[in-house]
Amino acid sequence: MKQIDGHISFAEVERIITQENKSVKIMVQTESMHPYFKAGLDYVVVSPPPADILGKISRGDIILFNIGDDVHLHRIIHYFGTLLEIRGDGMYGKKNLSKITGSDIIGIVTEGTYRGGKPFRTDTTSWKFSAWCWVHSYFIRHQFVRVKRLLKKVFYRKSL
């Protein structure tokens, strides 16, 4: 496994995973997967995808993928044959839902740390259950976020 510091390009990460067929340890750098992953505190190990990736992944799995020239780390929300809908854990709404195909996948997360340093492996029952709950609780979590934003507006106006 190769550990990547914050100064290497994602083109180099993609090359290591796809051409050298090695796993890469990457520090989470953005808040798109918050609250599961905390930027600057948590890391993920991205492994090369199996040859028949579409038969080996499922809802809740976290993948590293290309969209245009950008590389992202998001969770699979829906799976329609060869088409995958993906979204970051901290993103809500249809505009944050992206669609990709299996050929866009660079690698699949197999282990790492989450929520500020707790270790995980994606092949454990507890992680699979947690991922299932996260994907299936989207509607409820989205409603809580909407109420929180509304309350913030109300209290902000009163403080002026």
Question: In this predicted structure, what is the pLDDT of residue 1?
Answer: 64
- The backbone torsions φ and ψ at residue 119, rounded to the nearest 5 degrees and listed phi first, read -75, 150
Question: In this predicted structure, what is the pLDDT of residue 97?
Answer: 82
Q: Which residues of 60-75 are buried (b: 16+ CB within 10 A; e: fewer)?
A: bbbbbbeeeeebbbbb
Q: Mean pLDDT per segment of 10 residues, for the chain of length 160 residues?
A: 62 85 89 88 92 84 86 89 87 80 91 92 94 88 84 75
Nearest one of 127, 122, 134, 114 to 43, comparing CA atoms: 114
Question: In this predicted structure, what is the pLDDT of residue 72?
Answer: 87
Q: What's the pTM value of the predicted model, to 2 decimals?
A: 0.82
